[in-house]
Amino acid sequence: MDAKQEQELIQKVQNKERLTQEEGEALYELDLYTLGELADTIRKEKYGKKSYFNINRHINPTNVCADVCKFCAYSATRKNPNQYTLTHEQILDIATNSIEKGAKELHIVSAHNPKDGVEWYMGAFRKIREKFPDVHIKSMTAAEIDFITREYGYSYDEVLDMMIENGVDSMPGGGAEIFDEEVREYLCKGKVTSEQWLEIHEKWHNRGKESNATMLFGHVETRAHRIDHMLRLRDLQDRTGGFNAFIPLVYQKENNYLKNCNFPSGQEVLKTYAIARIVLDNIPNIKAYWATSTINLALIAQEFGANDLDGTIEKEAIQSAAGAKSANGMELDDFIALIKNSGFVPVERDSLYNELKVYN
């Protein structure tokens, strides 16, 4: 890109014009500070200095998995032979304990366990809902839903309806990985396809429900693949408006089967957050999920387009299995202090981004 093209691109972003695949890729060529400034301007217009988080609890009820994703260190395999599956009672105990301590959201994500049947999933939701009518249940990635349809012979519509009947409020963004078919085939052959992932979210949105979208990056994909991923989400969001947040997940490299990766530098991670803020002009929240970016970079990401840091997490098994320092979440007071000390105003939100408490 020569200087004139660079100026034209900057102008286009400032004019809030929609960017193409090529222009999205070209954003990566801007220097970090120019790109950060562009993203920060958009973020400030929407949120000022507010930075959002929620008090949540991640629950990962089983690591027994029928699928084999090269990047995953969580599922029980040769590298991680310790299988576990929680009973409904154990799940309910964890939920009770966390809710009593203040959790307002349960983020429940499982591996794809072929032994348990669909009632194992739905019964857990029902029991939580019966005991806690107000807690927000964010559960069932599109990958889990697709697995259930393949394993137990349901349609997507049937599973989505069962989720609603049994108390699920919103869907998390997991299982999206990278939409490019060739990379996906290499990373997680046999799992939900990109088209199916998008179809499931579209069906969920068409039921008046909201969801998130992730992108796993920093492994074997290229910058072009990341932009392609974002544009496929932008297209769907134009039709449904059902995505709340986009979450770029930085790949963690321990204890798995994915080798020869292009691990991203801190600059590349920050650029990716900033580009997400610019390219995804119709997804309101960009989440710097500190479990994968590190809390340090997540705090800096607040100046590069991110307006949300997920939450206190409490316990986390997926990313921490692959090396992230997120196994025990973060104390609320520490979380608030870190956001404040980085110059932002912590705002506790609910799962659908309604403001609950501003910590001035």
233 in Cβ contact with 192 (< 8 Å):
no
Among the listed residues 9, 103, 109, 295, the single contact to ligand V47 using CB under 6 A: 109
116 in Cβ contact with 84 (< 8 Å):
no
Among the listed residues 47, 251, 290, 304, the single contact to ligand V47 using CB under 6 A: 251
Among the listed residues 172, 248, 264, 329, the single contact to ligand V47 using CB under 6 A: 172
Among the listed residues 212, 237, 272, 302, the single contact to ligand V47 using CB under 6 A: 212
The yes or no reply on residue 110 touching ligand V47 (CB under 6 A) is no
The yes or no reply on residue 249 touching ligand V47 (CB under 6 A) is yes
The yes or no reply on residue 210 touching ligand V47 (CB under 6 A) is no
Binding segment for ligand V47 (CB under 6 A), chosen from 28-36, 39-47, 231-239, 246-254, is 246-254
- Beta carbon of residue 41, minimum distance to ligand V47 (angstroms, whole number): 25
The yes or no reply on residue 145 touching ligand V47 (CB under 6 A) is no
Site string for ligand V47, 7-46 (x = CB under 6 A): ----------------------------------------
Among the listed residues 36, 61, 167, 175, the single contact to ligand V47 using CB under 6 A: 175
Among the listed residues 67, 310, 314, 348, the single contact to ligand V47 using CB under 6 A: 310
Among the listed residues 91, 216, 230, 286, the single contact to ligand V47 using CB under 6 A: 216
300, amino acid identity: I
Dist. CA 48–CA 284, nearest whole Å:
14
The yes or no reply on residue 292 touching ligand V47 (CB under 6 A) is yes
| Of 127, 124, 152, 150, nearest in space to 139 by CA | 124
The yes or no reply on residue 237 touching ligand V47 (CB under 6 A) is no
220 in Cβ contact with 44 (< 8 Å):
no
The yes or no reply on residue 322 touching ligand V47 (CB under 6 A) is yes
The yes or no reply on residue 71 touching ligand V47 (CB under 6 A) is yes
Q: Which is nearer to ligand V47, 13 or 219 (CB)?
A: 219
Binding segment for ligand V47 (CB under 6 A), chosen from 12-20, 129-137, 174-182, 226-234, is 174-182
Dist. CA 130–CA 2, nearest whole Å:
61
Q: Give the dihedral sign, CA 332/333/338/339.
A: positive
Task: Give the residue carrying structure tokens 């200095």.
Answer: 49
- Beta carbon of residue 183, minimum distance to ligand V47 (angstroms, whole number): 13
Q: Which is nearer to ligand V47, 42 or 213 (CB)?
A: 213
Question: Total residues at the site for ligand V47 (CB under 6 A)?
Answer: 23
- Using DSSP's 3-state secondary structure scheme, residue 310 falls into strand
The yes or no reply on residue 318 touching ligand V47 (CB under 6 A) is yes
- Using DSSP's 3-state secondary structure scheme, residue 171 falls into strand
* Interacting residues of 172 by C-beta distance below 8 A, sequence separation 6+: 107, 109, 138, 139, 140, 141, 211, 212, 214
Task: Give the residue carrying structure tokens 């992730």.
Answer: 214
* Interacting residues of 20 by C-beta distance below 8 A, sequence separation 6+: none
* Interacting residues of 313 by C-beta distance below 8 A, sequence separation 6+: 56, 57, 58, 291, 326, 329, 330
Among the listed residues 63, 307, 319, 326, the single contact to ligand V47 using CB under 6 A: 319
Q: Which is nearer to ligand V47, 51 or 214 (CB)?
A: 214
12-47: b or e for each residue (b if 16 or more CB lie within 10 Å)? ebeeeeebeeebbbbbbebeeeebbebbbebbeeeb
- Beta carbon of residue 357, minimum distance to ligand V47 (angstroms, whole number): 20
Dist. CA 188–CA 209, nearest whole Å:
27
26, amino acid identity: A
Binding segment for ligand V47 (CB under 6 A), chosen from 70-78, 110-118, 120-128, 157-165, is 70-78
- Beta carbon of residue 63, minimum distance to ligand V47 (angstroms, whole number): 12
| Of 69, 71, 51, nearest in space to 112 by CA | 69
- Which residues sit at the interface with ligand V47, rule CB under 6 A? 71-73, 109, 172-175, 177, 212, 214, 216, 247, 249, 251-252, 256, 289, 292, 310, 318-319, 322
